[in-house]
Structure 1
Amino acid sequence: MQPYVRTSIKERIAEVEFFHPAGNSLPSSMLRELADAFKRLSNTDEVSVIVLRSGGDKAFCGGASFDELIQIEDLEQGKAFFSGFANVINAMRKAPQVIIGRIHGKAVGGGIGLACSCDYTFGTTHSHIKLSELAVGIGPFVVGPAIERKAGKAAFSEMALEPAVWKSAEWAHQKGIYQYLAKDQTELDEKTMALAMQLTEYNPQALYELKKIFWQNTDDWDVLLPQRAEISGKLVLSDFTKSFIKKFKNK
C-alpha cells in the first residue's frame, strides 16, 4: 500500500488516519499533511471530536523516517524536518476540538509525541513504547514537552535515558500516557467510538474551554518546539548519527 493521510467526517466525529508501509514512520510530507488536516478541522464547525489513528494492524507509529533522516545534509534541512513534528503537535494543541488517540500498537519516538498530544488516549495491551532518539545520536527534544505534559518529567527522563528499553503498555497506562487499555483492537474501536459519540452530545464551547485548561501554560510552544527542532537538526548531522542510521539501514 502507498503512504497516505486521510480525513473523514461522520456525525460530528472526524477521523484522521495515517499510514506508511515502513512501520507507519513519518516522512516530512506526511507530517505536513497531518498538520494541515488538524488545521483544517480546527475551522470546521460541524466537527466536535477528532480521532487520531493509523492504518494497518502492527505498529501505531515508528517515529521519524530513517530514509529521510539519512538524506539530511545541512542544518536548514534538519530543522525543517524536525519542525514537522513541532507543527503537528502545535496544530493538535490549538485545535478547539477534543482529540482522542487510538493507539493500536507500538509507538516509537515521535509516535509517542503524537499519542501524548491527544487529549484522551486509548491503547491496547500491545501498545508498548520506546523513546529511542538518544540511541540514534539525537534526543527526544521536540516531543519532550508533550510527553512531560502527560507523564511528568520523571517518566520522560526514564524513557529518554533508556532508549533501547521498551516500556510496557501497562507502564504507559500507569504514567498517564494512556487513559485506558483495551484487550484487543475490537474493544479499542468500541471504547474509542463510544467516547467520541458521547462527547458529541456535549456543548462544543464547554469542551473547548476544557481543552484550553488541559493545555494551559503551553502558549510558548510556538517558539519552544521550533527551537527544539533546531537542536535535533544539528545533532542529526553528527558522525555518530550518520553512522548509526547507515548501520541500521544495512541490517
Structure 2
Amino acid sequence: MNYENILSEYNNGITTITINRPKKLNALNKDTIQELHDAFEDADNDSDTKVIIVTGSGDKAFVAGADISEFADFSVEEGGKLAAQGQALLFNFVENLSTPVIAAVNGFALGGGLELAMACHFRVASNNAKMGLPETSLGVIPGYGGTQRLPQLVGKGRAMEMVMTAGMIDATQASHYGLVNHVTELEELIPFCEKIAGKIMRNSSVAIAEAIRAINANYKDGVDGFDVEIEAFGNCFGTEDFTEGTTAFLEKRKADFPGK
C-alpha cells in the first residue's frame, strides 16, 4: 500500500513503520493517524510479520505531538469526538494488537507522540530523546490515553507532575521512571530494537498474543485479569505451538514454532 505520511517496510519477520513528516517533526494529523491504523492492521494480519517496530523519520523527532492547526477551533463536542475516534482508531488499537509492537523513540516524543509510544507494548529510546505531555500549556489535557497510560507506567505522582508542569524528561530520566526499557545511542536504536525482536521471534507467536491479551486485561475496568490469564493459559494447550514447544523441550532440541 502507498502512503503519503508514513513508510512501512518488511524484512525478516519485522515490519518497521516510520512516521514520515520530517518538516512537521512527524506530528500526527488526521490522515497520518488513519495511515498508521492501516499499516498496523496490515502488519498484524500478515502471518510473516512477528514483530512491529514504529519510529519517526530523521533524528529530531519520533512524533513531536498532534497537528494543533487541525483542532484549534473545535467545539466541546468536536473535541470529545476527536479524542474518542483517535483512541479507537490508533492508540487502543495498537495496545491490543496481537503482534508485539516496539516503539523506537528517536528525539522528541511529545503529546500524541508520547501517547503513541505508551500505547506500544514497550519502548526503547535513543539518548537524545525528550518525552513529555505539554497539553496543559495549551489549555487542554492529553486526549489519546495519556492520563491513563502514563500513571500505569511511571506511577500516579510522577504522572501528575509531568502533566501539571507540561515539562519534558530526557531518556535517562525516562529509563529511571520505567517509561522506557532501554536507552541506546541514536545510530544503534533500530539495530537494538531488531535484536530484541529477534529474541521475541524465537518464541511462540500464538503464546505471545495470548500473553499480550492477559497482561492488558489487568488494566481494564471490570475485567479480572486472573480469569483472562487462566482462559489464555488453557487456550495454549490446544495449539500446534504448544505441541511443538513441549515436544522440542522433551527432545532437547530448539523449537520450530508453526505459529498456529
Q: TM-score, normalised by structure 2?
A: 0.77
Contact residue 18 and residue 53 of structure 1 kept, 8 A: yes
Deviation at 1:117, TM superposition (A): 1.4
Map 1:223-234 → 2, pairs under 5 A: none
Deviation at 1:122, TM superposition (A): 0.6
Matched, 1:47 2:49: yes
* Counterpart position of 1:159: 162
Partner of residue 130 from structure 1, selected from 129, 132, 135: 132
Map 1:6-45 → 2, pairs under 5 A: 6-20=7-21, 21-45=23-47
SS in 1 for 2:46: coil
* Counterpart position of 1:203: 204
* Matches of 1:136 and 1:128, distance apart in 2: 19
Matched, 1:172 2:174: yes
* Counterpart position of 2:64: 62
**C-alpha deviations, 1:85-123, integer Å up to 9, x for none?**
312111112210111110011111111111111212110
* Counterpart position of 1:106: 108
Matched, 1:143 2:146: yes
Letter in 2 for 1:132: P
Contact residue 108 and residue 129 of structure 1 kept, 8 A: yes
**C-alpha deviations, 1:124-145, integer Å up to 9, x for none?**
2211112111110001243222
Deviation at 1:154, TM superposition (A): 2.0
Gapped regions of structure 2 (runs ≥ 5): 223-260
* Matches of 1:157 and 1:29, distance apart in 2: 31
Contact residue 28 and residue 84 of structure 1 kept, 8 A: no
Structural RMSD (CA): 2.0
Deviation at 1:220, TM superposition (A): 5.6
* Counterpart position of 2:195: 194
* Matches of 1:19 and 1:168, distance apart in 2: 23
Deviation at 1:76, TM superposition (A): 4.3
Contact residue 113 and residue 144 of structure 1 kept, 8 A: no
Deviation at 1:71, TM superposition (A): 4.4
**C-alpha deviations, 1:205-248, integer Å up to 9, x for none?**
12112212331234469xxxxxxxxxxxxxxxxxxxxxxxxxxx
Gapped regions of structure 1 (runs ≥ 5): 222-251
Structure exhibiting the larger radius of gyration computed from Cα positions = 2
Letter in 2 for 1:78: G
Q: How many residues get paired?
A: 217
* Matches of 2:111 and 2:59, distance apart in 1: 19
SS in 2 for 1:174: helix
SS in 2 for 1:129: strand
SS in 1 for 2:169: coil
C-alpha change, 1:104 and 1:84, in structure 2 (3 Å) is farther
Partner of residue 89 from structure 1, selected from 91, 114, 118: 91
* Matches of 2:137 and 2:38, distance apart in 1: 31
The answer to which structure, 1 or 2, has the higher relative contact order (CA under 8 A, 6+ apart) is 1
Q: Taking every aligned residue pair, what percent have the same amino acid on both sides? A: 23
Q: TM-score, normalised by structure 1?
A: 0.79
SS in 2 for 1:167: strand
* Matches of 2:155 and 2:91, distance apart in 1: 17
* Matches of 1:122 and 1:204, distance apart in 2: 21
